[in-house]
Amino acid sequence: MKGPIIVVLAAGMGSRYGGLKQMDSVGKNGEVLLDYSVFDAARSGFEKAVFIIRHDIEKDFKELILGRMAAKFPCELAFQEMDSLIPETFLAEARRANRTKPWGTAHALLCAESLIDAPFAIINADDFYGREAFDAIGKYLCTDPVTEGAIVPYRLEKTLSPQGTVTRGVCTVDGAYLSSVDELKAIAKESDGRIYNTLDGVKQELAAATPVSMNFWAFPKTIFPALRSYFDEFLKTQAHEPKSECYLPMAADWFIKNQLLKIRVLEADSPWFGVTYKEDRESAIRRVAGLTREGVYPEKLWG
């Protein structure tokens, strides 16, 4: 049995900076958040990383990211562009609508299919998930055979940003399994301490302990035919929309509702933090420094 693969959604890296050269690090030796995720994956049984990027950041990515870790851990690159894997009919619709961006996280995963020949987990490049979460999902993916999916959810209150609103996949759990995911936008904690999401001017209060998806999913390698079917259905209705995106949490919800895949909910008391906004960086630096002082990570991550 091949060891599991960690797939990193990194096509959006550098988009706020116009490239990676000016991208802010969070570690003392230039490490960014994905360095810590891949490091955690490596010590949790994963055997390879696949990074999904854009062609225009390939040179910088190889120099600044793979230059640190590739000698220590096997890495491969997949590429997501607006026209990747898109049938010409739908591509013509998108171009008429002046679309310029790729089609979201489900599309990104399809772009990496040829490099995925084992059970895998998928994560965002700009999130920190914690060693405990990788241990839980790595242990699951090292079982044989892997026929179900899995998710490590996080408490909503621990995934908010003081800088502004966030989008989260709100999870409903039935026993040990996920029963639905609802992608909610414009979530924020207000001055009264309560958490709301706002849709069309209407507020809905959300419990602080609500489990949410942070795009830390595990799937068997056999999931791709179902994912392609979901994406095909998305294109039929959304190809003409210039900013529509096909999200993995919504794909997972579709798998469940169509009885194509059961998705386990894995418990892990793991911290989460991210850099949704540039202002989040200072907090991320402090938290990484604290974990380094505690011995969770070495001073120089890749030696």
pLDDT digits (tens, 9 = 90+) for 60-104: 999 989 999 999 999 999 999 999 999 999 999 999 999 999 999
Distance, CA of 14 to CA of 100 (rounded, Å)? 16
Query: Percent of the chain, pLDDT > 70?
Result: 98
Structural tokens at position 167: 């989008």
Over residues 233-276, the pLDDT tens digits come to: 999 999 999 999 999 999 999 999 999 999 999 999 898 998 87
Query: Is the Cβ–Cβ distance between 220 and 260 less than 8 Å?
Result: no
* Residue-level pLDDT at 17: 65
In this structure, are residues 185 and 197 in contact, taking their beta carbons and an 8 Å threshold?
Answer: yes
What gap in Å lies between CA 258 and CA 174, rounded to an integer?
16
Please answer whether residues 49 and 65 qualify as being in contact, where contact means their C-beta atoms are separated by less than 8 angstroms.
Answer: no
pLDDT score of 231? 98
Mean predicted confidence (pLDDT) in 184-205: 90
Kindly report which listed range (123-132, 200-209, 220-229, 243-252) carries the lowest average pLDDT score: 200-209
Alpha carbons 302 and 236: distance in angstroms, whole number: 45
Model pLDDT, residue 1: 64
> For all residues of the chain together, what is the average pLDDT?
93
Length, in residues, of the chain = 303
Phi, psi angle pair for 182, to nearest 5°: -125, 115
- The burial class, CB within 10 Å (0-12 / 13-18 / 19+), for 204 is exposed
16 pLDDT above the threshold of 80: no
CA distances from 83 to 57, 98, 203 (A): 17, 13, 37
Say if residues 49 and 22 touch (Cβ distance below 8 Å).
no
Secondary structure letter of residue 76 according to DSSP = E
Whether the predicted pLDDT of 21 surpasses 70: no
pLDDT of amino acid 208: 95
Write out the two tokens for 69: 């870790």
| Tokens coding 223 | 């999931």
Q: Cα–Cα distance between 197 and 187 in angstroms, integer?
A: 4
Q: Tokens standing for 9?
A: 């959604």
**pLDDT digits 0-9 by tens, 163-185:** 888 999 999 999 999 999 998 98
Whether the Cβ atoms of residue 44 and residue 3 lie closer than 8 Å to each other: no
Paired tokens of 108: 């990104």
Instruction: Report pLDDT for 18.
Output: 67
User: Highest-confidence range of 40-49, 159-168, 187-196, by mean pLDDT?
Assistant: 40-49
| Exposed / middle / buried, residue 193 (Cβ in 10 Å: 0-12, 13-18, 19+) | exposed
Q: Closest Cα partner for 108 from 222, 177, 13?
A: 13
Look at strands 263-265 and 127-128 and give their pairing.
Answer: unpaired
Assigned fold of 5-293 = Spore Coat Polysaccharide Biosynthesis Protein SpsA; Chain A (3.90.550)
Most confident of 61-65, 191-195, 228-232, 277-281: 228-232
As a whole number of angstroms, the distance between CA 275 and CA 259 comes to 35
pLDDT at 22 over 70: no
Q: How confident is the model at residue 200 (pLDDT cuts 50, 70, 90)?
A: confident
pLDDT at position 122 is 98
All structural domains of the chain with their residue ranges: 5-293
Q: Is the pLDDT of residue 277 over 80?
A: no
Instruction: Check: CB of residue 112 under 8 Å from CB of residue 9.
Output: no
Q: What angle do CA 149, 126, 300 make, to 5 degrees?
A: 105
With 90 as the cut, is the pLDDT of residue 281 above it?
Answer: no
